[in-house]
Each structure stands twice: as C-alpha cells, then as structure tokens.
Structure 1
C-alpha cells in the first residue's frame, strides 16, 4: 500500500511546528508560502484530518500533527544518517556509530578515545550527538543514537548496558567558599547554602537520597540549570554550590576555578555504563565493538574518562 504522505509532507510538518507560521516555515524550507500552503492542504486532504488550526495568525498543532512530527523526526534522522553513511563509505568508513553522554557536554576525553578507536579499527567512525544528552535513553530506543553513556543502574526492556567506570560525586564551590578547605561535606554543612542543580528529580543513588534526606538537611534551591558546564561557571563566580560528577569537573578544578569536596565521609560513587539496544549486542556488531572498546579504554586507568 502506497503511503499517503511523502518526505516533503513530513518536513513541512516539522518546519511549521518549529516556526509556528507558514511564512517562516516556507523560508526555512526554501519554498514560497503559497506552495507550502498548497502542500499542507494536500496532506490534510490525503489524511482527511486537520493538522493545524489557526489562532491569532499562528498555527496551533493538532494531536495528529504532533504524532506525525515524532515519526518525522525518526524517519528524517534515519535518512540523514543513511546519507552520511553513504558519503563516509566512499572515504573507507563502513560503519558510523552515534554516541551521546547523559547531561554533560564535556568531551575533552573524546580525542584520546578516537585515537584509541582508530588504532583498533579504521572501518568505524564515531559521531557525537550532543543534542540527545537530555534524554539519551529515549534516543537509543528511538534509534536516534546507538550508544548512551549513562550514570546509575539502567534496567529497561530492550536495552543492555556495559560497565565503563565508577566515578565519585563532588560537592563543588568557589575557592573562596567557607567550606573550600573541607575534604568532605555532610548534610549539616550545607543547610541554607545556595544550591544549583540540573534536575530536581530525586534519584536513589544521588545526593538527595544519600546526603539531604538522611540528615533532614537541605540547601536553599537557588536555580535549576540543565547544563552542567553553565553550573560550573556559576559556582566559580560564587553564585551557588552544586553536586556533579568528578570526571567532568577535573579541568575546572585543575585550573583552580572551583574546589571539590567528597560528598559525605564515605563518599558517593556512581557507576557509568554504555547503554545500547539488546539487538545490537552481538560481538561483531559495530555498535557493540565501539562499546567494548570504550569500556576497555576507560579501564586503562582508575579515572574513567581520561580528561587532560
């Protein structure tokens, strides 16, 4: 059965949702507004359902368009990847593996790992999908990425994980902070402290459950900033404190811009792993090969990602 819609229809749905206006969407796609309007009417006629409704000169998305937009993102992503794969094949690359790291956009470890990867295989290229870091598990499930580097224990149907390294959480502050000379901090130390977090969703193995709740000691929530690198800059300017993973903080600590203390006397250590689809777990699958090499590379030192 021939599909009612083609790629042009999916592209226009995406463009209209992103811009909210026919004229802006047409400019984004490089067509005239009248041509885009005609294409939209054609799509609605073929489906026999409205995709957008007008309100105050803007287009409001209907549930049908929202659903098609999700499909469009997956289809267009797969098509873009296929085109990129074909181009890279001509340069001797046979496989492209897409990877993203949960929450963090610190990729100072990447050049060293790529050199390690190339020393083992020239046929696999690594593509970093930084835009997927906010929800990498969904990215793996939707095939937008192939490997998600995640913290914590990941148990979801259809997904498998390979251990990479263990990494401590650090309580970070400005060098002039009153706790800057502490080797570790306890709950009583941080009561009332301005605290910047990238998520207020408690996790059972993090500071909420293992530092704040056990002692009924809480900081003052100063801000929620979803980019850890921005949190580091705010902390360095003494605008608050935070708790983040040690591996992503080494550069800022080495430069003396922030100070890190262990979280509780015993410390809180978090496991990091490579998450991939169960169907990609065969030993000769390029995705599994990259995951295995990443685990091997991380295991060469006790510090996980080798950031220099």
Structure 2
C-alpha cells in the first residue's frame, strides 16, 4: 500500500521544480501555509524529511534525491496516460511527441505528415526541441514518445527501429580547396576551423571513427548547436564540418555547400527510438511503422558521388 496520495506527489514535483514553497504554492494556486502542511504530512507518512531547509530554499536530502529521481520518471508517464485517455474519450485521436537527436532537421516533416494523415488520421505529431540534446533521457522520462536518432544509442528499456542508412560527409563551401576531392583524409582537417554541434563525442560518429584514430586535431573547433546555422556558416566560408548527408540534403541540392567523402565512407544508420514496453497495438508503434515505410521510400539521402 502506498503511503502518499497523488496530491502529495504533485506537491513534491512542484516544490522540486520551483525550489521554494512560496513559488510552488503560487503554481498550485493554494496558500503557502496549506502547502507547508501538505509537505509536513508527506514527510510524516514517509517517516523522514524529503527536504532540508536552507533559509527560504529547500534542498533534497540524500533519501529525498532517490525518491524524486524515481518520481520524475513515473509522474510524467501518469500525466501522459491521462492526456491520452482524455483525447481518446473525446475522439480527438492522440498526439505523439517526437524529437530528433543530434541534428535538428525537419525538411522531411511536411511531406511525411501529409502521408500520416492519410494512413493514420488519429495520430498528430508534436515536435520537442529539447530532445535534440538529451534524447534518451527525454524518452525514458516520457517527455517524448519517440526519438529519431542517428548512430548507436542502445540503452536498457529502449528499442531501435531501423529507418534508413545515411552517410557522414565533410561539408565545405563551394570553391573550397577540398571541394574538388573525391575523398579526404583526417590530415586535411588540420588547417581547418571545424564546426560541431556538440563537444560531447558520440559512439559511431566522425570523431570516434575518423578523426581520433588518426591523432588529428583541427586548427580550431567551434561549437554551434544548430545544424542550419552550421550550414550557413560553412556556405559563408567560416569553416567545415562532418555532418549527416540527409540532415543537410536540401543545402546540397541547392548547391549552397559541397559534400566530400571522408576516407572510404562513413555509413550512419537512422532509427526510431521507442520505449521497449510500448505495446504492439500502441499509437507509437503504429507511427513507427508508418515512418519506417515512408523513410524507406522517400527518406534516403542524396546519392554519393
């Protein structure tokens, strides 16, 4: 039998989000006194303090940190279940939240949504930008229902559904000294300003497979967290980058930039990541199936060469 009611869990969530009882009370539209009594009741039921008072601020106790970590995984799932139930009761279908990991590319979205409305009219899509930088955590904490991800992101509780094969390419300005080469070697990056969307290396990407094994260090590394901005900077001559060919395919088709193959080629698998416990009949699985079929027919990157 659980010792806390749902109102206690909601209160703990808001206190953690706000940091003070006053702000949490305002969000919950109750008095600070009532909130303080509710917190005291929750701690009494649990048999110990969840927070330590530091003036007006509240700091989690070690036991409280464990409790809140678990709560932050479970509570969003319950909130999502409520939303799905209400939508289905109102015959409004279901809205699934998706993110795109590593590359914030959405040039495919409008065409896909037109197909989705024909094949699964009860499913709507909502894009969650925050998932780009924390894809697995966002998925496991139910902030999103699906993540489109390149590379290898295996983790317990997550299933990867293959979508299509892509390639990592060196993207350079038109007229750049490397633009006329059939392929490049790591040494060609030594004199370049290298643009990257993150300093954190990921398994299966260019740093692990191409740059680090050669012991090469570009002349300068600049972090630009938006893929479209990287492409614009490259087109203007401010640097080069190794990126997903599919993610920058529109810029390549328009001739804004040029793609050159690193070494003998670096393949990159794109997948739809879903929680492993999603039922076969769920809307998430249905969306994954439509995505897989559509990408296999329409989502493959521009041919190399």
**TM-score normalised by length of structure 2:** 0.81
Q: CA deviation at 1:113?
A: 1.4
Contact 2:161 / 2:272 at 8 angstroms: preserved in 1?
yes
Contact 1:171 / 1:241 at 8 angstroms: preserved in 2?
yes
Q: How does 1:6-155 map to 2 (within 5 A)?
A: 6-55=5-54, 57-90=56-89, 92-155=91-154
Q: Tell me what 1:287 maps to.
A: 284
For residues 156 and 92 of structure 2, what CA distance do their matches in structure 1 show? 31
For residues 236 and 178 of structure 1, what CA distance do their matches in structure 2 show? 14
For residues 174 and 33 of structure 1, what CA distance do their matches in structure 2 show? 59
For residues 236 and 13 of structure 2, what CA distance do their matches in structure 1 show? 39
Q: CA deviation at 1:234?
A: 5.3
SS of equivalent to 2:84: helix
What root-mean-square deviation, in Å, do the aligned CA atoms of Structure 1 and Structure 2 show? 3.2
- Per-residue CA distance 1:123-182 (angstroms, 9 max, x = gap): 333343433333333444444443322212454444433221111223335558664565
For residues 69 and 25 of structure 1, what CA distance do their matches in structure 2 show? 16
Unaligned runs of 5+ in 2: none
Q: Tell me what 1:208 maps to.
A: 207
Unaligned runs of 5+ in 1: none
For residues 147 and 46 of structure 1, what CA distance do their matches in structure 2 show? 37
Contact 2:99 / 2:144 at 8 angstroms: preserved in 1?
yes
Q: How many equivalent residue pairs?
A: 302
Contact 1:13 / 1:65 at 8 angstroms: preserved in 2?
no
| Cα 1:198/1:62, change in 2 over 3 Å | farther
Q: Tell me what 1:250 maps to.
A: 249
Q: How does 1:193-272 map to 2 (within 5 A)?
A: 193-220=192-219, 222-229=221-228, 231-232=230-231, 235=234, 240-253=239-252, 259-272=257-270
| Cα 1:79/1:285, change in 2 over 3 Å | closer
Q: How does 1:155-166 map to 2 (within 5 A)?
A: 155-166=154-165
For residues 68 and 25 of structure 2, what CA distance do their matches in structure 1 show? 17
**TM-score normalised by length of structure 1:** 0.80
Q: Tell me what 2:271 maps to.
A: 273
- Per-residue CA distance 1:16-47 (angstroms, 9 max, x = gap): 33332232333333333333323222222222
SS of equivalent to 1:28: helix
For residues 44 and 232 of structure 2, what CA distance do their matches in structure 1 show? 52
